[in-house]
Amino acid sequence: MCRLFRLPLALMNGTAALGGYLLCREARPGVSGLMLFTGVTLMACAASAFNQVLERDVDALMRRTMARPLPAGELAPLWGATIAVLVLLSGAVVLAALGAAPLLLALATLAWYLAVYTPLKRRTPFALLAGAFCGALPPLIGWSAAGGALGDFRIVLLCGILYLWQVPHFWMLQKRHADDYRLAGFPLFAPQSFRGPGPFLVLWLAAVVAATLMLPAFGLIAGSNASLWCLAFCVPLLLTPFRRLEAAAYVGVNVFPALVTLALYSTP
């Protein structure tokens, strides 16, 4: 089941939602936070299972996904869909106990992932611009569960940074598995054929850095060295053009959201 649910990714979504919850000053750590983490993780598990049912044909073509339960023949599509529905209902019940806003946001994120991003990524490499919304919304789900206003500039800025961050993240992921993606027929977002970032990606990286520096500018990260810390968070992003530093940059890019969320939460 771990492969069907892509549990590490689901747990990351639950953690991101919990981070958004704790950022809200009205939040009270306790049972509600645990329920939020559980509910969002379950919804992410359901999204993964539905996705694998929909993409079982292309999963069978790629080395990194052919061992998943459906392409490997370990699970029938009907059973996969049934499990996904049951997990979805479980997650929805948990989130409904926290209010309508977190439930509706979670359902909207799941629907966008399955109905928009999943079919779109077979048609255009720029589908990642649509898919990035799915990774940016978990903190907003947590924020809403804590009673925070959805238009509050703090959570909007955090979600915006996470949205921008996902483009270089997806680019590096595609670069690492380019042969698999080509074999399955997915169009690749490949600036200069992966020899280095093109103008689009360079501008995007600059936008991530600029957005991150807005955190201390608006007082969301306090301290005399806040701007330097924010620049340090961005170092892995700035290393992405250099092949020799690619492995270190990939690890650093993956921990970037956690560093930003931790810095925000640590600011009184």
Percent of the chain clearing pLDDT 90 (strictly above) = 42
Reply yes or no on whether the pLDDT at 252 is more than 70: no
pLDDT number for residue 194: 45
DSSP state of 6: T
Q: pLDDT tens digits, residue range 197-242? A: 556 667 777 788 788 878 777 777 765 555 566 666 666 666 655 5
Residue 247 lies in a domain: yes
Point out the domain boundary residue: 108, 124, 140. Answer: 124
Residues 163, 74 share a domain:
no
Nearest-Å Rg of the Cα atoms of the chain is: 19
Reply yes or no on whether the pLDDT at 133 is more than 90: yes
> Residue 212: which domain range?
151-268
Of 40-44, 61-65, 131-135, give the lowest mean pLDDT range.
61-65
Q: How far is CA 129 from CA 10, 105, 120, 173, in A?
A: 20, 19, 10, 15
Point out the domain boundary residue: 124, 159, 192. Answer: 124
- Model-level pTM? 0.87
Residues 114, 173 share a domain:
no
Q: pLDDT tens digits, residue range 46-74? A: 999 999 999 999 999 898 889 999 999 99
Query: What residues contact 215, with CB distance under 8 A and at least 6 apart?
Result: 157, 161, 221, 226, 230, 260, 263, 264
**Taking residues 249-266, what's their average pLDDT?**
71
Domain total in the chain: 2
DSSP state of 196: S
